[in-house]
Amino acid sequence: MRVDGAFGNLKHAFESDRLAHAYIIVGAPRKEGTMLAEKVLALVFCAERKKPCGKCRQCRDVNDHTHPDILWVEPQMKSRRISIEQIRELQKQVFQTSFSGGWKACVLMGADRIGDQAANAFLKTLEEPPKKCIFFLLTDSPQFLLPTVLSRCQVINVESGILNLPDEWRQRIVNILSREGPVKSGKRSVVTAFGIGEGLLGFLKEIKEMIEKEETAIAAEGTLEEDEDTLEARVSSRYREARAAIMRSILLWHRDILMLVCGMDKGLVFREDGFDALKNKAKVLNLKCALGNLQIVEEMNRQLERNIQDGTVLSFGFSRMV
């Protein structure tokens, strides 16, 4: 579902006094996730009759993330986790009287990064939430949330897959994945597998360096002093989001190959920008091999989420693919 469609549904729920107390928004936390949360919060806190107006002080504060009744929480520690201390501070604030005398809200960026102890503490708040308080849990990896947390929230999927990647990034990924050499005995050559893995690793390194430069510049221009751990956590969080989007793009690539192996036509292919390469790859694969490749990409995703080194995951993963 697109952000506008999801917002329309939530606006109707708000106007009907049927907003849930907690929503998990699945999508890039700093893109679709934040966009939807901001739109709904502007609706909830807007001071005008026609909501959201986008012009009143409340709407501006929501957009600037400075509204006193909205708490924004994100991984701040070197471990890149939302800590138990952050959750305790959240609990303290949401049970206090709101400054405006109305709603209170909390947004958890990268909610899948809540540590187990913090998640169990947060679960108590979800089980007995304060009145007129809404929680948004933003994540691109809902599978890493505790099942008990998932069961107490409504899930809204606004994930756009590779559509949230810049055109330059999408083309770079197509170029790397299209590096196919001759297939012998049902396996791609070691040189080809190494080239693809190294190409993606180099691309990810460039992205991380770019993020580090941007975040360092932002910290230098800001009015708040941030220690090295906080800056590192922000860089790591943004890098994980970018890497997850790239891995989703790779997953969709192999999903398209599987679809073509199954005899589906071009109209069902997601990655039309690399159709010729997809078609050529599908010609040399059977159903078992195409499905196996897709499963290997899913396994690589899980390994990266467990903080196994990028180079190890990509090199070993692509060496196993047909």
Q: What secondary structure does DSSP assign to 41-70, as a single string? A: HHHHH--SSSS--S-SHHHHHHHHT--TTE
Q: What angle do CA 181, 175, 254 make, to 5 degrees?
A: 75
Cβ–Cβ under 8 Å, residues 283 and 236: no
Amino acid at 81: R
What are the boundaries of each domain within the chain? 3-159, 164-320
Q: What percent of the chain has pLDDT over 90?
A: 35
Cβ–Cβ under 8 Å, residues 246 and 310: no
Q: Whole-structure pTM over 0.85, yes or no?
A: no
**Mean pLDDT, residues 147-175 taken together:** 80
So what's the pLDDT on residue 236?
A: 84
pLDDT digits (tens, 9 = 90+) for 201-246: 999 999 999 999 888 887 776 544 556 777 787 788 788 888 988 9
123 vs 1, higher pLDDT: 123
> How do beta strands 183-184 and 187-188 pair?
antiparallel
CATH code for the part of the protein at 3-159: 3.40.50.300
CB neighbours of residue 91 within 10 Å: 15
> How do beta strands 154-157 and 22-26 pair?
parallel
283 burial via Cβ count (<10 Å: 0-12, 13-18, 19+): exposed
Q: What are the angstrom distances between the C-alpha of 283 and each of 107, 184, 265? A: 47, 14, 13
Sheet holding 70-73, edge to edge: 70-73, 104-109, 133-139, 22-26, 154-157
Residue count of the chain, please give it.
Answer: 322
